[in-house]
Amino acid sequence: MIARIFSAGLRSLPVLVTLSLLASAPALAAEDETTHGFYSGATLGWEFHDIGGQVGSDATFDDDGLAWDVLAGYQINRNFGFEGGFMNTADIKGHDNDDTPTKIELGSEGGFAQVVANLPIWCSESVSVSLIGLGGAYFYDVKVRSTTPPGTPKSENDSSGNGVAGIGGVGIQLDVFKHVELRLAYRHFFDVQDSDIDSIGLSVIFTQWQ
């Protein structure tokens, strides 16, 4: 029971932080209107999947793997921006627990759109550090493939599904080079075809501003 409460609290943290940053953004934005313009970047990260309804409940999975995305966005001011892009989640592999276990592979890809709230917490002449909150949606297409093992009658079955999952996240963003920023962020994807995804990723972002 305690573990479930802690897990639920952790997953709601990104939403609470994002709402707090959005609430404080209008007042803080008035202090610095020099940071605005278009930006682009890419993310490489590691994901952990809480496998749900994509496959049968008796299947066993390696539930983590490498993921990536590419993004582009617009920074309205120092504290508020929005971005979107394309992402590919980790390819998860496993098998069911029948007498002749079937190999199962699943993964998803699709577009995403999210709001970025940015709160500077420390800065110097050469480096600035900000706390960020992320909130948005992932428009996913899930694919599942099952294949029988060698030595058994060959059978392959492909299935797919699509939908929209919520995104909540928190992170740290560092401005350390001219026109280049680094972002380390945790994101939670709510209900991707009945499964949740936790992601930790490092983004390299190229900006118009200095």
Say what the pLDDT of residue 29 is. 43
Say what the pLDDT of residue 209 is. 76
Tell me, rounded to whole angstroms, the distance of Cα 207 from its chain centroid: 21
Say what the pLDDT of residue 31 is. 45
Say what the pLDDT of residue 92 is. 84
Please name which of 39, 50, 40, 133 lies closest in space to residue 89, comparing C-alpha atoms: 50
Average pLDDT across each block of 10 residues of the chain; the chain has 210 residues. List them in order.
Answer: 44 51 46 75 95 60 90 95 96 71 83 97 89 98 79 63 96 92 97 92 90
CATH number for the domain spanning 83: value is 2.40.160.20
Say what the pLDDT of residue 98 is. 61
DSSP-derived 3-state class of residue 16: helix
Say what the pLDDT of residue 124 is. 85
User: The domain containing residue 85 runs over which residues?
Assistant: 2-207
Say what the pLDDT of residue 40 is. 98
Indicate the number of domains in the chain: 1
